Amino acid sequence: MGEEIKVIVFKLGEEEYGVEVEKVQSIERMVPITRVPRTYDFVKGVFNMRGVVIPVIDLRGRFGLSEAEYTDQTRIIIVAVGEMQVGFIVDSANDVIDLNTDNIETPPEVVGGVKAKYLRGVAKIGEERLLIMLNLSEVLNRSEMNQLEGLED
Amino acid sequence: MDMNQYLNMFIDESNDHLQSLNEKMLQLESSPTDLGIVQVIFRSAHTLKGMAATMGFEDLASLTHQMENVLDLVRNNKLAMQEFIFDTFFKGLDALESMVQNITEGGDGKADVSSIVASLQSIVRGDFQKSGIDAVTEAVTPKKAADSESAGLVLDQFQYSVLEQSISEGHRVYYIQVTISSESQLKAARAFMVFNTLENSGEIVKAYPSVQDIEQEKFEQNFSLYYITQKEVGELEKEIAGISEIESVSVVQLDQESLKQMSEVKAGLAETAAVQEAPVAVQQQSAASQPQSPTAASGAKPADGKAQVAKPAAPTHNRTIRVDIERLDVLMNLFSELLIDRVRLEQLASEASNPALTETVEHMSRVSSDLQNVVLKLRMVPVDTVFNRFPRMVRDLAKSLDKKLDLVITGADTEMDRTVIDEIGDPLVHLLRNSVDHGIEPVATRIAAGKPETGTVHLRAFHSGNNVFIEIEDDGSGINREKVLKSAISKGIMTEEQAAAMSDEEAHQVLFAPGFSTAEVISDVSGRGVGLDVVKSKITSLGGNVTIHSVLGKGTNFSVQLPLTLSIIAAMMIQIGSEKYAIPLSSIVETAIVKRTQIRSVHGNKMIAFRESHIPLISLSQLFEVPDFNEDEEEETEVVVIRKGDRLAALSVQDFLGQSEIVLKNLGKYLPNIQGISGATILGDGQVALIIDPNVFIK
């Protein structure tokens, strides 16, 4: 029997994604973001969250999906993995659900264009709803990006 | 009672006491008769013992208890401090430190300290209350066991001449070999007893294994020694054999001839062993410089490896509390939030034009800027917190290298930001080791060069402008330019042509090149594969700089320049399009306005005339790809002239917004290195502005 976890649900397009609630520090409305030059396109910049400067990345861009206009529904989900704090821009975030880890299945090869390694698995909720669980440490993995960009020496 | 809540307090206080014990022991070592210091040490040890016992750390308590026993004798004038006691105490302090460290890491603070306890007990019993031991400890260099025992007992010139002279003066010289029973549980203690007995009626000139090794029971069953006395062979044999658990003893009397033979045979044997034992030469030099009579040597105070702290200006017993640095960070963050609201309030008040409101807001502004200063000062810590571990380190280092030197610390009360302090320790350790190992010469070399045999290493800290300087200066051999360059060429760091064209200054900088080392013999201290390049990069990453000034034969000065604080810098705020950036004032030479027509193109690069020369003009808007600004449409361009070393460049911007003090923040772990950006700051309106790193623009 798996354990019960609480999951924050957010949307990118029509897909629903989930992250464990303990990894999420807060959910913010869109704020002015300061552009950081000479970095990846999906890094939208940095913003001030109560005195701490936090980088913001567009999760659509990170997954190679087409970027969308920001609306009233757009949210920044602040996640913390290890010492890394990052804000994810998502289309909307408005649900918290309980999930049994037994219900998480290994991800299929391709889900909506997102590389499988960013995903921890897919959870089935009820009859129709599919929730894509993110593998945060892979999403925030920098080593792969450093190879791409060669920004560092 | 739940002890956990007291654990942190215990750890902090224990570390304080250990630090103070270390300092005081060093002081005592340079003035061993000062009973005032002994009192302070006694009280510290006593408190430590009490705390450890209360917290249930039995091993800690029992070790401090033994140390306390010795101190009690000393302060009551029943025992005089001497080198053996100092060494034992330092060992004890090291053991205590590692126990406290173990507790800090969640352990139970248990450790095997039986050998130290045994030494301490032997001191209390008076087994070692003999000054003669000094001569032995001093004459014997700590070294690893040689391949054969005979090789280990080779005499250096000094020892040889002492023995020779003694024979000619009618003393008896013996070569004594002692075997301790294999069943003995306390080999070291038995050996002590032998030494003790012998010293009652003569001098031990040389022992193998070394006295230190014997103390630590680093010997099998046998040890041998050269001994000068008036006693007869039989008398000696009887005395030694009378000590319990001694299996056998052989005493051979030496005359001029047999002494010569022995030393020749052994020197021959030792030569092969000496290949692996670099310190032999050093050992001879150090011994040669010692007083020429063994009795005088025994009375001499242990001068090698003496580290002194220049009398600190009356230790400041501040009334302080400990605050977790993270809490200070939170306070800073909250405070910057408050500042943002203050700006907003000021704006609203001016719009509302209500005198009472305006007045209140103005008052609040003043209070909050005072508050800001206080909050920022909270982070300042005296550099002493780093320096205080150096005297002990240098003492041990000098001992292991068999050099004589004084460490003189000045300006330990100089304050720096906590973040800088935390980072600067390791680079300084490195530079100090470098000075002691490479800078200060062995005693004989110093005497040959007409210098005092005791070298001096100065460690200074002082403020200058917005910087803190830390200097490490030795009066050693200085940097040999030719040797450095030769080594650099052979390691492929540069070509011969490059080397020939270098100024002395540049040649010294080669020491900081990655992979560089001049150490011909890889000693215990240097040659660990970590070079000065690591020091350089660490200091640079702190926004500082390190320079070398050296005169061959006179000494070397490493000067480390560091920013006063990493968290607040003075900066020029500039605007490009809708974006605001901060440029650190420290790298700005001046600001200017140039007409577009004054900008020349040289080989496709834009240049402007500045003073007598032309300097490159870099467009920030192009470099940062600012979306909403194009300077080509302007008639005049604002430029900021920046400097790195002696090179200049100009950055073109749209507008100057003025100068301000900014709180430096990093961009977070996700964006550690963005080219041209060194960090971020939060503006009055809550927005983030990036801080430009001008160093990148000048190659």
Q: What is the per-residue pLDDT across B166-178, written as a single tens digit (0 to 9) for each?
A: 777 777 888 888 8
Task: Decide if A96 touches B, using CB distance below 8 A.
Answer: no
Tell the CATH topology of B157-256. Alpha-Beta Plaits (3.30.70)
- Which is more confidently placed, B278 or B624? B624
The amino acid present at A121, given as its one-letter code, is G
Task: Decide if A35 touches B, using CB distance below 8 A.
Answer: yes
In angstroms, the CA A145 to CA A62 distance is 10
In angstroms, the CA A61 to CA A67 distance is 6
Burial of B168 (0-12, 13-18, 19+ CB in 10 A): exposed
Considering only the beta carbons, identify the residue of B624, B626, B688 that sits closest to A46: B688
Average pLDDT over residues B412-441: 86
Split at pLDDT 50, 70, 90, the class of A100 is confident
Four-residue CA torsion sign, B473, B477, B483, B487: negative
The amino acid present at B252, given as its one-letter code, is V
Tell the CATH topology of B382-563. Heat Shock Protein 90 (3.30.565)
C-alpha dist (Å) from residue B461 to B427, B559, B586, B595: 14, 10, 20, 46
Average pLDDT over residues A114-126: 79
Split at pLDDT 50, 70, 90, the class of B142 is very low
| Selection from A73, A52, A35 nearest residue B686 by Cα | A52
The answer to whether the CB atoms of A36 and B676 lie below 8 A apart is no
Residue pLDDT, tens place only, B666-696:
887 888 778 888 889 888 777 899 999 887 8
Residue B261, pLDDT above cutoff 60: yes
Take residue A92 and report the two structure tokens written for it. 């909307």
Instruction: Judge contact between B387 and B412, C-beta under 8 A.
Output: yes
Take residue B22 and report the two structure tokens written for it. 């270390």
Query: What pLDDT, on a 0 to 100 scale, did the predictor assign at position A113?
Result: 57
Q: Which helix (H) or strand (E) holds B181?
A: none
Domain B568-696 class in CATH = mainly beta
For residue B642, the cross-strand partners are: B588, B649
The amino acid present at B602, given as its one-letter code, is V
Q: Find the residue in B nearest to A35 (Cα).
A: B579
In angstroms, the CA B237 to CA B178 distance is 10
- Start-to-end CA span in chain A (Å): 48
Instruction: Judge contact between B45 and B53, C-beta under 8 A.
Output: no
Enter the ipTM. 0.86
Take residue B188 and report the two structure tokens written for it. 């070291």
The answer to whether the CB atoms of A50 and B337 lie below 8 A apart is yes
CA B38 from centre of chain = 25
CA A64 from centre of chain = 13
Query: What pLDDT, on a 0 to 100 scale, did the predictor assign at position B163?
Result: 76
Contacting residues of B for A57, CB less than 8 Å apart? 670
Instruction: Judge contact between B154 and B270, C-beta under 8 A.
Output: yes
Instruction: Judge contact between B487 and B513, C-beta under 8 A.
Output: no
Strand order in the sheet with A92-100: A92-100, A4-12, A15-20, A129-134, A119-125, A104-105
- B312-339 burial by CB neighbour count: b if 16+ within 10 A, else e? beeeeeeeeeeeeeeebbeebbebbeeb
Take residue A86 and report the two structure tokens written for it. 């990052």
| Selection from B405, B412, B421, B211 nearest residue B313 by Cα | B412
- B395-433 burial by CB neighbour count: b if 16+ within 10 A, else e? bebbbbbbbbbbbbbbbbebbbbbbbbebbeebbbbbbb
Residue pLDDT, tens place only, B363-406:
988 898 888 778 877 878 888 888 988 888 888 888 888 888 88
Residue pLDDT, tens place only, B622-652:
889 888 888 777 888 899 999 876 788 999 9
Take residue B663 and report the two structure tokens written for it. 């709180």
The answer to whether the CB atoms of B674 and A37 lie below 8 A apart is yes
Split at pLDDT 50, 70, 90, the class of A18 is very high
Identify from A48, A56, A152 which residue to disrupt to test chain B contact, counting B C-beta atoms within 10 A and taking the largest count: A48
Q: Which CATH architecture has domain A4-150?
A: Beta Barrel (2.40)
How many percent of chain B have pLDDT more than 70?
A: 83
Contacting residues of A for B626, CB less than 8 Å apart? 37
Q: In whole numbers, what is the pLDDT of chain B averaged over residues?
A: 77
Four-residue CA torsion sign, B194, B196, B197, B201: positive
| DSSP letters for B390-441 | HHHHHHHHHHHHT--EEEEEE-TT-EEEHHHHHHHHHHHHHHHHHIIIIISP
Contacting residues of B for A51, CB less than 8 Å apart? 332-337, 682
Average pLDDT over residues B71-88: 83
Instruction: Judge contact between B640 and B572, C-beta under 8 A.
Output: yes
- Pairing state of beta strands B647-653 and B655-663? unpaired
Instruction: Judge contact between B652 and B638, C-beta under 8 A.
Output: yes
Clarify whether B68 is annotated catalytic.
yes
Verify cis geometry, omega within 30 degrees of 0, for the bond prior to A108: no
* Active-site pick, B23, B29, B68, B149: B68
In angstroms, the CA A77 to CA A49 distance is 12
C-alpha dist (Å) from residue B46 to A52, B12, B88, B438: 45, 16, 18, 40
Look at chain B and count its residues: 699
> What are the backbone dihedrals phi and psi of residue B437, each rounded to the nearest 5 degrees, phi first?
-80, -50
Task: Decide if A83 touches B, using CB distance below 8 A.
Answer: yes
> What are the backbone dihedrals phi and psi of residue B465, each rounded to the nearest 5 degrees, phi first?
60, -130
In angstroms, the CA B657 to CA B572 distance is 7
- Quote the pTM value: 0.51
Of A4-13, A94-103, B189-198, which one has max mean pLDDT?
A4-13
Task: Decide if A36 touches B, using CB distance below 8 A.
Answer: yes
In angstroms, the CA B61 to CA B559 distance is 43
Instruction: Judge contact between B470 and B562, C-beta under 8 A.
Output: yes
- Which is more confidently placed, A85 or B264? A85
Query: What pLDDT, on a 0 to 100 scale, did the predictor assign at position B322?
Result: 75
Query: What pLDDT, on a 0 to 100 scale, did the predictor assign at position B458?
Result: 93
Query: What pLDDT, on a 0 to 100 scale, did the predictor assign at position B283?
Result: 38
Of the listed ranges A29-43, B90-104, B269-283, B470-484, the least confidently predicted one is B269-283
Residues with Cβ within 8 Å of B479's Cβ and at least 6 positions away in sequence, in order, are: B507, B508, B511, B548, B550, B552, B556
In angstroms, the CA B56 to CA B107 distance is 12
> What are the backbone dihedrals phi and psi of residue B10, each rounded to the nearest 5 degrees, phi first?
-60, -45
Residue A104, pLDDT above cutoff 80: yes
Q: Find the residue in A nearest to B331 (Cα).
A: A51
Instruction: Please state the domain extents for chain A.
Output: 4-150
Q: In whole numbers, what is the pLDDT of chain A averaged over residues?
A: 83
Instruction: Judge contact between B396 and B507, C-beta under 8 A.
Output: no
Residue pLDDT, tens place only, B246-259:
877 878 777 777 77
In angstroms, the CA A60 to CA A45 distance is 15
Average pLDDT over residues B468-480: 88
Burial of A18 (0-12, 13-18, 19+ CB in 10 A): buried
Residue A120, pLDDT above cutoff 50: yes
Q: Could you say which of 3.10.180.10, 3.40.50.1100, 1.20.120.160, 3.40.50.1370 is the CATH number of the domain covering B3-125?
A: 1.20.120.160
Average pLDDT over residues B325-348: 79
Instruction: Please state the domain extents for chain B.
Output: 3-125, 157-256, 382-563, 568-696
Residue B566, pLDDT above cutoff 90: no
| Selection from B145, B366, B160 nearest residue B273 by Cα | B145
